[in-house]
Structure 1
Amino acid sequence: MKKLTLPSGEAVFIRPIQPTDAAALFAYFSSFSDLTRKRFGPHPFDEATVKAICENLDDDPCIRLAAFADGKCVAYCLLLPGILPDDDIRLKSYGIATDQFTYATYAPSVDENYHGTGLANAMFTELEYDAKKAGATHIILWGGVQHGNPRARRFYEKNGFIKVGSFDLNGGDDDMVKPLS
């Protein structure tokens, strides 16, 4: 568990999801706006999915980090070893030989009240370390980033992600990849 003190002085704790986190994680997903639901979609947000995630953590290849403030989940990020089939097809269509690299696939979400606090950076740093430790040479965004999400795009660019191509799933999306050194 990592403690982060936000600029406001609030303490946030970053740690892997645990089996006892189902209620807090479901409450977090239930708080999503319609726009956030459209932008963050690695899995459904219903109670049954959350329960299954929390009950099957030992068999889950994903690294699932959450951030908690006063016992409330305020961020959730995934790192999946490998590359998803649709992302792989798109990267190959851009001329990227994906078999020459080892990928990890990244999907972040942060409560809108915690945007701009450094929480997303702290969580990404943790997951980037995990990706390197697992032997990944690159991190790809899970399903890309939507053109209509400039805040996320700035975050990714600031953290070293490079646009490698565009596709149209949600009104315009970009695939972004970060080479790891």
Structure 2
Amino acid sequence: MIAFRDAEVADAAALARLGAESFTETFGHLYDPADLAAFLENHRATSWAAQLGDPAFAVRLGEAEGRAVAYAKLGPPSLPFTPNGPAAELRQFYILRPWQGSGAAQALMDWVLSTARARGAEELYLSVFVDNHRARRFYARYGFVEVGSYDFMVGTHRDEDHIMRLAL
């Protein structure tokens, strides 16, 4: 059973660990260790603390068995696109493997959609790795459609990500 709550600045270290662990378990095998290490610098606790203290960001944290196991992060648009109106971006959406298929994804996405709407967004954007078929199917079920692509960098390694949009 996962318990969800809004994350606080005090959760920065737990979110840093969770982000790094989730990215590594899902994608780590694709990258040279140096590129992976460079990318994981994005998951430092200091970076998390800054975002958790910034009202432009909202993070929902899921905990089970005494530890952080899932989260979703909303923030201002940062992807290379031009919004049609007020927009938000789903910056990260991670669930550790043992809790995938538990209903956590639906609970987090319900929070994402309601929070984006409550913040005045008329559009929600995200990016997803082209070869992450499970995630792409999940987002498509909610009505997200592909509107472009861009180069997602993991260290010096270049991946293609799709940019997806949902009209709220």
TM over 0.5: yes
Work out which of the residue numbers 105, 120, 135 in structure 1 matches 2:105: 120
- Point out where structure 2 has 5 or more consecutive residues left out of the alignment: 31-38, 153-157
Maintained 8 Å contact 1:102/1:137: yes
- Point out where structure 1 has 5 or more consecutive residues left out of the alignment: 1-10, 93-97
Cα deviation code 1:76-119 (max 9, x no counterpart): 211013x21x422xxx4xxxxx2x41110002111111112210
Moved over 4 A (4+): none
TM-score (norm 1): 0.72
- The 1-side partners of 2:41 and 2:145 are apart by 25
Q: Percent identity?
A: 27
- Aligned twin of 2:62: 67
- Aligned twin of 2:35: none
- Aligned twin of 1:156: 139
Aligned partner letter, 1:132: R
- The 1-side partners of 2:167 and 2:40 are apart by 22
* Cα 1:158–1:56 shift into 2, 3 Å: closer
Give, in angstroms, the shift of residue 168 of structure 1.
4.3
Secondary structure in structure 2 of the residue aligned to 1:61: coil
**Which of the two has greater strand per residue?**
2
Aligned partner letter, 2:109: F
TM-score (norm 2): 0.77
Are 1:22 and 2:5 matched, yes or no?
no
Maintained 8 Å contact 2:80/2:150: no
- The 1-side partners of 2:136 and 2:115 are apart by 22
Aligned partner letter, 1:113: P
